[in-house]
Structure 1
């Protein structure tokens, strides 16, 4: 016969009996670390270098937007018991028509982009080694780490890289001695002349695209699968994106103090982070240059790990659902055939792009589909969280609908702008 203490140990943890605080943080940190890659860091850095602290408020709004979107994805998963892709299927077959080419083309191009981004700081640290050697090694090592699908190990590895990012990125901001008075003035919403696109991009682009939708899959791997985990999920999500907000503010501080104040310009794209490492080295010594390059590498490699794991889980669910496989079919599980097939797709075919260059038609398709994904996510979440498929106690309230509606409108505007940029090569003379 089981005594009362033993029985208490066997009961699943509920929101009334939360786990120890250190165990609460998990999937949220994974999705935040995956979403904030080198591209997001440099976008915030460039905004700081051109407008100082003026757009700080927009970066904070961007963090709040991601909290709302990821909370919606997590709430759908916990309350409905369905994955996000199963939800999209309920919204209509048109979602499959969009998602099928998206996940295939996106994975092919993103694989090359992520490996190249991770290789850049390594090539700067070890200039005697060719960039592509580091790129290929990064993809293969990332694939090996997530291949066997042990979520707990994966989460620990991500936590290590978040710690590394925190020390280096926040450390760079502290070294530049931020002006606290001007930092506070940046909390007042203002849109300087010529900054509208930067403002929208900071508000809408800080911290992930498709990886936001992967949150529900990581919740399942963590073992948080029922509504009793709702409060824990919200704490996890909020704390994780507060941490990501610290990264974003740190990069804005570096851009404002180190570049804006001295009129230094940097390159767009990940090359801007290499420029920043050089400026840090000139101002504070070679050590600071190497120190920051390590943080750059950590942000890029954590994105590889997160995408290789989370989006592969999404692909396995997508293919298993489309083929009508049972939910417990091993092919659609982490470590299963479909999961590993997508890891291979992310790793091996993109190597060709590293050597051959990226064909313009593929890049246009990638850019166009990518521009449409965030509006797709926001609009479908707005539908699902109000639908009959969502238990009534967990449906959106009027104010949550207002927030998600505003977010959807923002991403439609951003998507239209990105779509025009993606199609520009086809119409330019």
Structure 2
């Protein structure tokens, strides 16, 4: 949608707070629904179970130093009325082609990983064996495709807030219950320092990279923020101010960051040092995940948290399928010589949706177990891609089409370069590990 069309949308002032939140809040919740999935339920929990609290610093660093590159997607959409993919195209076709290649490399592993975990949670809830995971995954993908093809945005925007709230309440309840038990000496002694030298062993590096790869999620998914922001404006007819848009984004971003530390704590306080091996089956791991809550709150919470975790993970699958389909649809149309033509709807959305879902099912059908391997591969791949997307987003947000009032300030620019150095540095270290130490 051209900028002038969005600028002509009425800027409604004097609205009641609830009505304003309805018009503004949405894309940030979608981001949180996308982020609170594998990175939290699987990776953060595994980090706590394997290393106690020793990897908390890496979770904090990843969330803080990746922050600018996700925020720029929302900032660009608010400033220009277009997704940041348009900004890629303004820099040249090569940048959009690079994004297309990077997305094509990672999308099937990402989509299959989140669906595999979701299938495990539903399989555990329904009492199914691990062998049924591919069929459960196929059913989940089919339902997602049907729902998204019928109603591509309003379904997401309207239904996921309740699921996120349920998971938030139950996770915080379990977290504070366990912290109380730990403080009162009712749990085995747990370390709260960073003194475990195991994290500095070369063999720990792949997991640390995998943990940060999707913390809070993959950087290449930052384009989705801007796409959802533009879609929200189209849906409501309300063009929020930069402050309003960033409020929505910050709400979802830091909400997901805080929950990552909660899941780390659940794994550390219940599983670390217990001698209980982590299951490599998605169904088995789901059972272990639910046990974190029952250990903290009681057996009565089992079905509540099992349903909440499964449905929130289902929301992650929906947002991942929707995000990839929207991003690839817009990318291919921008690469077309006739990309400026007017078009109604997302003409390539459904075929791409079917492609992503079908490719994901094929990968999952080959895996009865192998949860850790699939998740680590997808997350490490995302981390390797991250420096390229981070640098692109930084260049785009400083483009001439972005008004100075909407460009990041000095503090954000410094944080951006720290983030680029951080992501690039760890990628080079991991490359050295693969070539020399592995």
The aligned residue for residue 158 of structure 2 is: 156
Asked if the contact 1:30/1:158 (under 8 Å) is kept, the reply is: yes
What is aligned with 1:249?
261
Distance (Å, rounded) in 1 between the aligned partners of 2:116 and 2:423: 27
Q: For the residues of structure 2 that align with 1:192 and 1:382, how far apart are their CA atoms?
A: 36
Q: Give the Å deviation of 1:267.
A: 4.4
Relative contact order higher in (CA < 8 Å, ≥ 6 apart): 2
Residue 204 (structure 2) pairs with residue 205 (structure 1)? no
Kindly state the Cα deviation for residue 230 of structure 1 after the two structures are TM-superposed.
Answer: 0.5
Alignment pair present for 1:142 and 2:141? no
- The equivalent of 1:403 in structure 2 is 415
Corresponding residue number in structure 2 for 1:11:
10
Superposed CA deviations along residues 13-68 of structure 1, whole A, max 9, x for unmatched, are: 36999753454321111012112212433222232234434544543444334543
Q: CA deviation at 1:77?
A: 1.8
Unmatched segments (≥5 aa) in structure 2? 1-8, 369-373
- Of residues 271, 289, 301 in structure 2, which corresponds to 1:276? 289
Q: TM-score, normalised by structure 2?
A: 0.79
Moved more, 54-63 or 364-373: 364-373
Pair 16,327 (structure 1): closer, same or farther in 2 beyond 3 Å: farther
Kept after mapping to 2: 8 A contact 1:34/1:211 = no
Asked whether the 8 Å contact 2:28–2:248 carries over to 1, the reply is: yes
Displacement after TM superposition at 1:169 (Å): 2.7
* Structure 1 residues 17 and 152: alpha-carbon distance in aligned structure 2, compared to 1, 3 A threshold: same
Q: CA deviation at 1:204?
A: 5.8
Q: Does the aligned pair in 1 maintain the 2:76–2:84 contact within 8 Å?
A: yes
CA distance in 1, matches of 2:419, 2:280: 26
2:49 and 2:383 map into 1 onto residues whose CA distance is: 25
By how many angstroms is 1:367 displaced? Answer: 7.3
Structure 1 residues 263 and 181: CA distance shift in structure 2, 3 A: same
Q: 2:199 aligns with which of 195, 202, 220?
A: 195
Q: Distance in 2 between matches of 1:15 and 1:94?
A: 45
Gaps of 5+ in 1: 1-9
Distance in 2 separating the partners of 1:14 and 1:76: 23
Q: Is the 8 A contact 2:152 2:322 kept in 1?
A: no
Question: In structure 1, what is the equivalent of residue 388 of structure 2?
Answer: 376
Q: Does 1:172 align with 2:179?
A: no
The Cα shift of 1:337 comes to: 2.4
Aligned residue pairs, count: 407
1:168-200 CA distance string (max 9 Å, x none): 433332442444699xxx9x9957523354666
Q: Report what 1:230 is aligned to.
A: 242
- Could you say if the C-alpha distance between residues 67 and 364 of structure 1 is closer, same or farther in structure 2, counting changes exceeding 3 Å? closer
Aligned residues of 2:384 and 2:427 also touching (Cα < 8 A): yes
In the other structure, the counterpart of 1:391 is 403
Change (3 A) 1:373 1:14: farther
Cα distance in 2 for residues equivalent to 1:244 and 1:366 = 19
Cα deviation 1:123-143 (Å, max 9, x = unaligned) = 122234622221111001111
Deviation at 1:215, TM superposition (A): 0.3
1:48 lines up with 2:58 in the alignment: no
- CA root-mean-square deviation: 3.8
